[in-house]
Chains A and B, each alone.
Chain A
Amino acid sequence: MWGSFALLLAVAGLQALAAGDAIPLTFENWRPTLYAYVLWGTCLCAGQVLVRGEQGKRVLFVLPATLFVVSMVVFPLLFGLIIAFSNWNLSSPDGRQFNGWDNVVQMWNDPFYWNALTNMVWYTLAIVVEYAIAFGLALLLNSEIRARKFFRVAFLLPLMLSPVAVSWMIGKSMLEIRFGPISRFLRELGVENVSFFGNPELARLTIMIMDAWTFIPFMMIMILAGLQAVPREVQEAAKVDGASGWRGFWEVTFPLMLPVSITAILIRIIFKLKLADIIINVTAGGPGGATDSVTSFIFREYRDRSNVGYGTMLAMVYLVLIVIAMTALLKLTDRWMRPRY
């Protein structure tokens, strides 16, 4: 176990030296260090069992996943922190250059980044509407209807489709100005030549709708599962007590659904924050950055200028903002979710 750790250190050290031209050894890449790391991980796991016996076997359940996550998340994050403070153009031969706070200053003065952040707020607010629709659909699916399975499958399908295909299917072909079916339908209704991605507000709305189309089923399923877990007696009792449909919903069903709803919304927010595929493929952020999400903005920033340092800085700031917002949200919902009886 310690032997393999020593080996890891030795290989990594050797490569670091070689990279610094300190010794006359050249490596193609850092692969050997990777192999040494894998070996060390395996030996660490095996060592746990040998050294600590039964307790070690238990540790073995969690250890592989922990090692994996640490190496795949914590290490790149730290590495990301380093490159965030540098000017690193991957295509230029100079390599990485430390430039201190320049990236921060540049970010502060970058109107497009702030624009993307405001867009994210709008996109996130759209979740409220999505939630209302999803709740309605879940209620319908939970009521006594025929062919429930058919409807459930049909409603689920949008979630399964890849956003890229969706962005082509809906964004590029169905919304095509001249002969897309939706434009045609609107023309029948008397609206002439709607250009869906021409003006900023409409473009943003269209993106929201497309994203909602994909993810409403997700919230719907979660709420439906919650509804089905509510014992039937509760609703019957409410009915006996004389609660009409509307009041029964607001005073019995909705409070019971609150915890599930909050979980669903939180997860939905997390997914929403990753929103990029549709935007990259349909509008590429246009017109004038009106539809940009942070992710798609960074993606284009890298594509156009291949500057890793600045992009990473933007992403890091985004992460910090997200963590702050999510923590606040969790604290807030934690208070709501406490049962009040």
Chain B
Amino acid sequence: MKFFLSVLLTMLAGIGISLWSLSPWWGFVPVASLVAIALHQVPSKAFAAGFLGMLLAWGGLSWWIDWQNASLLSKQVAVLFPLQGSSAALILLTGILGGLLGGIAALAGCYLRSTKSNVE
């Protein structure tokens, strides 16, 4: 339950933080840490929740944008990168990048609250 809640909160934060106009592109990073502090889990689960939350946020958002755009732009950018013009690969890359940042930020949050005793 905690795990799913963490994933959900991280994902919502990842999507919603940009509504705050002063937020830099990495505004979701401290929020992912906060989620891990508030909903404490073992490090592996914390990482997984942060990763999954941001994978869904960035992967989902880019997928949604790409679908509305009929992949016009992603096909071209995936040539620049180079990803052989594959929109799916670009969406995956976006999701994994967001996921990595979310995961590692959650891990930091998790360790902030961890003590030797509450580690399983």
Determine if chain A interacts with chain B. Answer: no
